[in-house]
Amino acid sequence: MIQNLPVLPKVSVIIPFYGIDRQGLDALHLCLQSLEGQTYENFEVLVVSNGPQTIPVNTENRFNRFIFMHRSAISSYEARNFGIRMATGNLLAFTDSDCIAASEWLTQMVLLYQKDPELGFVGGGVKLYSRSGTFNSVELYEQMFHFRQEYYVKSLHFGATANLLVPTQILKKIGLFNENLKSGGDLEWGRRVFRANLRSYYSDEAFVNHPTRGSLKALVSKEQRVIGGLSDIYKANHSYWRVKNGVEACVELLKIPYKMVQFARRKGINASVFLIIIYSQFWKTIEWLRLMLGAPSRRN
C-alpha cells in the first residue's frame, strides 16, 4: 500500500468508447469491472462515448459509481480532451475500453508519482491476451510488434494511451492532445513532453491486459490507422512530405522480400508468422502510397 501520503491524490480515469457492437460493449463491461476492483480508493472514472451510439442506460445503471458522457468527436483524442476538461483529479489515467486493469494498476502508478511529483508521465505495461485462449498467427505477430510500451517510453519518448498516467499540471504546461489526429496523438503529445525536458517512467507493475486482434482484417485496419496517424503528424511538420515519403514508400515496397527474409532468419519465427509479416508490410506500404497521393487517413 502507499505510505506517507496524508491525502491520496485523486485520480481521474478517462476512457474513450467507440464500441458499436455487442463485443465492444462486453469489453467495456470487463474494463469497468476491473476498475471496480482497484486497491486504490480515491479515483473517479469518466467514460466518454464518441461513437455513433450512446452507452445503453442499463450499462450506466450497472456501473452507477462512474460518470458516462457522450461527445460526437472525430477522434478518440478529442474524446479524451473532453474527459480531461470534465475531470476533477490531480492525476489523469488513460486506458482503452477493451483493457482490463490489474487490481494494483492505480496504486502502482501513484507510487511512481509519489517518488517524482515533477514527472511528465508514466507509461504502464500492456500485456496482450487472446480471447480464444490460444494465440493464432495474427496474434503472435501482434505480440511481437504491437504495444511495446517499455520501448515506446524509453526509446521513442511517449506512452500509449492504453496505459498512461499524467499529472494534471503537466497538461496545463504541455497542452492537450491534438484533436485532429485520428491515430498517433499519444506519440505527438509524448514528444512535446520530451522536448520540454520532463522525465517519463515505465512501470511493468502498473499493467493492463489488452486483447489481441485475431483476424487479418482487424490487424490491417489497425496498422492502416497507425500509418495514417503518422502521416498526419508528418504532413503538419514537413511541407515536402508527399514527395519524400512517396519515394521512400516505393523503395520500401521493392525491399520487402529481402527485409522479411533477413528478419525471419534473425528471429527464427515460424512460416505462418513470416507470411503475416509480409502481408502486413505490403499493405502498410500500399497505405503510405495512398496517403502520398492525397487520400485522407482512416478512422477505422
Q: What is the pLDDT of residue 252?
A: 55
Question: Which residue would you say has higher pLDDT here, 141 or 33?
Answer: 33
Q: Is residue 6 part of a domain?
A: no
Q: Are residues 183 and 234 in the same domain?
A: no
Q: Based on the domain organization, do 166 and 110 belong to the same domain? A: yes
Average pLDDT value for residue range 77-98: 97
Domain stops at, among 152, 185, 211: 211
Q: From residue 195, give the alpha-carbon distance in Å to each of 148, 186, 192, 255, 282.
A: 22, 14, 5, 33, 33
Q: Is 188 found in the same domain as 62?
A: yes
Q: Cell numbers at residue 227, please?
A: 500509418
Number of other CB atoms surrounding residue 275 within 10 Å: 14
Model confidence at 226, in pLDDT bands (50, 70, 90)?
confident
Give the H or E element holding residue 17.
Answer: strand 11-17
Among the listed residues 182, 176, 164, the one whose alpha carbon sits nearest the alpha carbon of residue 84:
176
d(CA 116, CA 203): 13
Same structural domain for residues 203 and 266?
no
Given 185, 211, 237, which residue is the final one in a domain? 211
Cell numbers 458522457 correspond to 69
C-alpha cell at 39: 486497491
pLDDT, position 112 = 95
162-180 pLDDT tens trace: 999 999 999 999 999 999 8
Question: Are residue 178 and residue 237 in the same domain, yes or no?
Answer: no
The tally of domains found in the chain comes to 2
pLDDT range class, residue 39, cuts 50, 70, 90: very high
Mean pLDDT over 189-213 rounds to 96
In a domain, 260, yes or no: yes
Query: So what's the pLDDT on residue 237?
Result: 64
State whether 97 and 132 are in the same domain.
Answer: yes
Query: What is the Cα–Cα distance from 232 to 230, expressed in whole angstroms?
Result: 5
**Domain annotation covers residue 4:** no
| Same domain, residue pair 198 and 253 | no
User: Does residue 58 sit in the same domain as residue 178?
Assistant: yes
Residues β-bridged to residue 183: none
Q: What is the pLDDT of residue 115?
A: 95
Which neighbouring-strand residues pair with 14? 46, 94
% of the chain at pLDDT higher than 70 = 86
First to last CA, the chain: 40
Q: What is the pLDDT of residues 243-294, one digit of tens each?
A: 445 555 556 555 655 665 666 667 667 778 888 888 888 888 888 888 878 8
Question: What's the pLDDT score for residue 180?
Answer: 87
Q: What is the pLDDT of residue 22?
A: 84
Q: What percent of the chain has pLDDT over 90?
A: 56
Answer yes or no: is pLDDT of 49 > 60: yes
Average pLDDT over the chain reads 87
119 in a structural domain: yes
What are the tens digits of pLDDT across the range 115-150? Answer: 999 999 999 999 999 998 899 999 998 988 889 999
Rg (CA), the chain: 20
| Same domain assignment for residues 143 and 232 | no
Q: Which is higher by pLDDT, 154 or 265?
A: 154
Measured in whole angstroms, the distance separating CA 215 from the mean position of its chain's CA atoms is 19
**5 vs 3: CA distance, rounded Å:** 6
Band of the pLDDT at 242, cuts 50, 70, 90?
very low
CB neighbourhood size of 184 (10 A):
22
Residue 60 Cα distances to 32, 97, 222, angstroms: 11, 14, 29
Q: How far lies 165's CA from each of 4, 93, 104, 141, 250, in Å?
A: 20, 4, 14, 27, 39
Q: Which of 181, 211, 241 marks a domain boundary?
A: 211
What is the structure's pLDDT at 240? Answer: 38
pLDDT of residue 223 exceeding 80, the answer is yes
183 and 271 together in one domain: no
- Contacts of 132 by beta carbon, 8 Å cutoff, 6+ apart: 214
Amino acid identity, residue 211?
P
Position 3, amino acid: Q
pLDDT of residue 3 exceeding 80, the answer is no
Residue 278 lies in a domain: yes
Please indicate, yes or no, if residue 5 is contained in any of the structural domains.
no
Name the β-bridge partners of 210.
128
Q: How far apart are CA 293 and CA 183, in angstroms?
A: 19
**Parent domain of 246:** 216-292
Task: Tell me if 157 sits within 8 A of 191, measured CB to CB.
Answer: yes
97 found inside a domain: yes
Answer yes or no: is 189 within a domain: yes
| Pair (199, 124) in one structural domain | yes
Q: For residue 108, give the CATH number of its domain.
A: 3.90.550.10
- Predicted pLDDT of residue 243: 42
Q: Counting beta carbons within 10 angstroms of the beta carbon of residue 134, is it exposed (0 to 12), middle (13 to 18) or buried (19 or more)?
A: exposed
Contact 291, 297 (CB under 8 A): yes
168 and 252 both lie in a single domain: no
Name the β-bridge partners of 91: 11, 167
